[in-house]
Structure 1
Amino acid sequence: MMDINVVALSAIVILVLLFLKIPVFITLLSGSVVYFMLTPSVPVQIIAQRVIAGIESIPLLAVPFFVCAGVFMNYSGVTKRVMDFSETIIGKMPGGLAQVNVLLSTLMGGLSGSNLADAAMQAKMLVPEMEKKGFSKEFSSVVTASSAMITPLIPPGIAMIIYGSIANVSIGRLFIAGIGPGILLCTSMMILVGIISKKRGYKSDRVESLSSSEKIRAVMSALFPLMLPVIIIGGIRLGIFTPTEAGAVAIVYSLLLGLVYKEMKISHLKQGLKETINSTASIMLIVGAASAFAWILTRERIPQEITGMIINTISNKYVFLLAVNLFLIIVGMFIEGNAAMIVLVPLLAPVATAYGIDEIQFAMIFIFNMAIGALSPPMGTLMFVTCGITRCKIMNFIKEAIPFYILLLVCLMLLTFVPAFSTGIVNLFY
């Protein structure tokens, strides 16, 4: 059997196991094992070496650091302060808590770095309150899950760290590039929420404006937490620390906030470390397993073959980007984002470079597509996490989410055809 046929068989095994809902890392390892077992010229021991080599990456050290910082932020009283600040900013806008939900996701995205953690937190904290204020369960769930998509785009998103380590792209530049798409998605989503809320009569529960002293108090209480993204980006840009070291800085900063606010206890510290280990282990298992399969693709020169085939078939880079968008959205519906990234970035990034597409712009398009996939049926992780907590029926969720899917596609087209949304701030900084 030819090696290329073995690769195809491995890919089929992976797809079948994914449809059977086998854990992602086991699925990817199974596909890799099939290749090694049917390729006598390659020692089977290499699979273990490639799994370990996949996670022995200095940039990936930032993952546990930022996960830990995000967990500690939740225990240090930061979330409540940022939420109060969001309510102050929103004022009496149509939608009230729904608008707070979107803005909180944007602000907390710069602190937690994890869209699933953000969705789970707000599903527990905000959805019950939104239902008490008269919002439907479906609308509340959709706003929570959709706004959590902003998290991987706002620095320091975990997806940016993984993408940068795979594609050898500056993680610092990716952090800065995420600001533009994050603001675009936040602004457009708040406009959509306002339109829907006004149509359905979802009003803000605040009748009177806050006094100046109340506004100042809310801003000051959230000032230190909101300084974290500024410290991270500023420190990286000024060369004070690397993106990996920025993760360690974020942990120290979150612990200092816990001491200042006097809300973090020793028990929270232990629980936070336990959550960090669990989250990091699940990410690294996928990274290691996907790295083994990515090595197989590289060995068989699949990226080069695909590059040549696509360039000979498609002459226009925008047609290529449209095809990639369609492909990635479909992939994101079935495969976990980090796993898809590790396997597909080595395949698609060289093709994008061959077309002259800016590496930062392509990274943002890729990450945005994976975020859309996480919200989409049949296997959207954001959708299932949110509905699992709010007990919203999946079919009702999908019907309610249709306007948000349309909005996301519009934003994706803007990122695809207007590079300035991705590269404008990066060019300004660098």
Structure 2
Amino acid sequence: MTAVLFLVLLFLFFINVPIAVSLGMASIIFFIMTNDVPLITLPQTMFAALDSFPLMAAPFFILAGKLMEHGGISERLVEFSKSLVGHIKGGLAHVSIVTCIFFAAISGSAQATTAAVGAILIASMVKEGYDRSFSSAVQAAGGTTGIVIPPSVPLILYGVSAGVSITDLFIAGIVPGILLGVSLMVVAYVISKKQGYRAAASSASAGEVWAAFKKAIFALLMPVIILGGIYGGIFTPTEAAVVAVVYGFVIGFFVYKDLDIKRIKQIFIESSITSSIILFIIATASFFGFLVTSEQMPQSMADALLGLDLSPIILVLLLNLALLVVGTFMETLASIIILTPLLLPIATNIGIDPIHFGIIMVVNLSIGLITPPVGMNLFISAQVGQTNYADVVRAIMPFLCIMIINLIIVTFLPAISSGLVP
């Protein structure tokens, strides 16, 4: 009967029924067919999934990211990044990636990072003679750092789903996120050298770097305050998210003065819509996960794979392959909520630490953001860059390859993720 549950779900996905509705409908159809649990369990499980203090961090970080996105942060981060790496060959490509890294430490979202930074830099790159599809591909790839570098909404959801420390997950995401950004810059440099793309500016003096830093100081202080407060034990990730909202409002409204009442109203509307979609997915996915667990599917999968007597390396590769395939077709947050209870028991049975597996999972799904046919970052960058989707897909391939190499490194060198975790 479990096969019926997944077949119905895949069919609903295929006919483009929204993810949250698909999860709910598949669960209800399965419930009607089996009648194994009381009907009241459906709303109880959905509400219980949302009644979570750690989960409250997600909508608050979404709101904080929106405030910073529209509060004049992007432009100042771009100027500071240009003073740091603009002199390297292919300078604007590096500026784009470094700005994405900074913005990722503010927004916690790959899509927000891609859209906010891309709106400024893609047009600038094209104006300086960069190929439009390459410019869009750089932005799509750089945006993937948004879900690896903390604070990350997907890491929050994994922490809630897996019952592990969100603070530890944030710490574990720092080095893999930086490694990802640096490797993307290497690819951008190689392509820029081959294509003859010049530096964006001459090497900045210490005074120019300091001037750009002072302009961006309030933006750069946000991740320091938020992450420093979490790691220092001053506040929890949820409390940090609230601090981020207040900080983002004060900086955007009173310091940079790029926010006004009309824009703030729109930010609240957009944040509410985004948060409600995410919470709806979580609620329906929780009941779906409850049914899967009640049917003992995770344990059955673990027993079946372990019964094949495969080496741990092969099992890890199979887990990665499954995540890569799912990430290609399914939205990141839904993938985490559905797959965590299924795959985590297998991972722990072969000796993978839950924190390490969370990073493996998020890095996998970040690759899905730039993998056709459903890579969200590809669609966003193509739209912002006003270019053909197929051209962006061709241009993204070198970045996709280096991200897979990153995944292999993160998977088989656990110290990269766990080295900073106390």
TM over 0.5: yes
Query: Given residue 26 of structure 2, which amino acid in structure 1 is its aligned partner?
Result: G
Which of 65, 74, 78 pairs up with 1:79?
A: 74
Q: Please give the secondary structure, in 1, of the residue aligned with 2:197.
A: coil
2:391 maps to which residue?
396
In 1: Cα distance, 2:184 partner to 2:334 partner: 27
* 1:236 pairs with 2:195: no
Quote how far apart the aligned CAs of 1:315 are: 4.1
In 2: Cα distance, 1:205 partner to 1:334 partner: 37
Q: Please give the secondary structure, in 2, of the residue aligned with 1:372.
A: helix
The question of whether the paired residues in 1 share the 8 Å contact of 2:94 and 2:185 is answered with: yes
* 1:210-289 aligned within 5 A: 210-258=204-252, 259-289=254-284
C-alpha distance 276-159 of structure 1, shift in aligned 2 (>3 A): same
1:357 maps to which residue?
352
Which of 108, 112, 137 pairs up with 1:142?
A: 137
Q: TM-score, normalized by length of structure 2?
A: 0.96
In 2: Cα distance, 1:283 partner to 1:296 partner: 20
Quote how far apart the aligned CAs of 1:59 are: 0.9
In 2: Cα distance, 1:159 partner to 1:118 partner: 14
In 1: Cα distance, 2:210 partner to 2:394 partner: 40
Deviations 1:246-294 (A, max 9, x none): 1001111112212122332222221221111011111111111111110
The question of whether the paired residues in 1 share the 8 Å contact of 2:23 and 2:285 is answered with: yes
1:47 maps to which residue?
42
Deviations 1:106-127 (A, max 9, x none): 1100001111111122332211
Query: Given residue 28 of structure 2, which amino acid in structure 1 is its aligned partner?
Result: V
Q: Please give the secondary structure, in 2, of the residue aligned with 1:154.
A: coil
In 1: Cα distance, 2:54 partner to 2:330 partner: 23
* 1:160 pairs with 2:155: yes
In 1: Cα distance, 2:369 partner to 2:181 partner: 17
Q: Please give the secondary structure, in 2, of the residue aligned with 1:126.
A: helix
In 1: Cα distance, 2:256 partner to 2:380 partner: 30
1:341 maps to which residue?
336
In 2: Cα distance, 1:242 partner to 1:171 partner: 9
Equivalenced residue count is 421
Q: Please give the secondary structure, in 2, of the residue aligned with 1:240.
A: coil
Quote how far apart the aligned CAs of 1:57 are: 1.5
Query: Given residue 157 of structure 2, which amino acid in structure 1 is its aligned partner?
Result: I
Q: Please give the secondary structure, in 1, of the residue aligned with 2:130.
A: coil
In 2: Cα distance, 1:400 partner to 1:172 partner: 36
* 1:72-111 aligned within 5 A: 72-111=67-106
Query: Given residue 161 of structure 2, which amino acid in structure 1 is its aligned partner?
Result: I
Task: Give the superposed CA RMSD.
Answer: 1.4
The question of whether the paired residues in 2 share the 8 Å contact of 1:119 and 1:385 is answered with: yes
The question of whether the paired residues in 1 share the 8 Å contact of 2:55 and 2:156 is answered with: yes
2:59 maps to which residue?
64
Deviates more, 1:226-235 or 1:21-30: 226-235
Q: Please give the secondary structure, in 1, of the residue aligned with 2:34.
A: coil
* 1:316 pairs with 2:290: no
Quote how far apart the aligned CAs of 1:314 are: 4.0
The question of whether the paired residues in 2 share the 8 Å contact of 1:96 and 1:203 is answered with: yes
Query: Given residue 26 of structure 1, which amino acid in structure 2 is its aligned partner?
Result: V
In 1: Cα distance, 2:112 partner to 2:377 partner: 10
* 1:92-131 aligned within 5 A: 92-131=87-126
Quote how far apart the aligned CAs of 1:52 are: 2.1
In 1: Cα distance, 2:191 partner to 2:6 partner: 43
Which runs of 5 or more structure 2 residues have no equivalent in the other structure? none
Deviates more, 1:35-44 or 1:288-297: 35-44
Which runs of 5 or more structure 1 residues have no equivalent in the other structure? none
C-alpha distance 314-401 of structure 1, shift in aligned 2 (>3 A): farther
* 1:295-310 aligned within 5 A: 295-310=290-305
Percent identity between matched residues is 38
Runs of 4+ in 1 over 3 A off after TM superposition: 208-212
Quote how far apart the aligned CAs of 1:138 are: 1.0
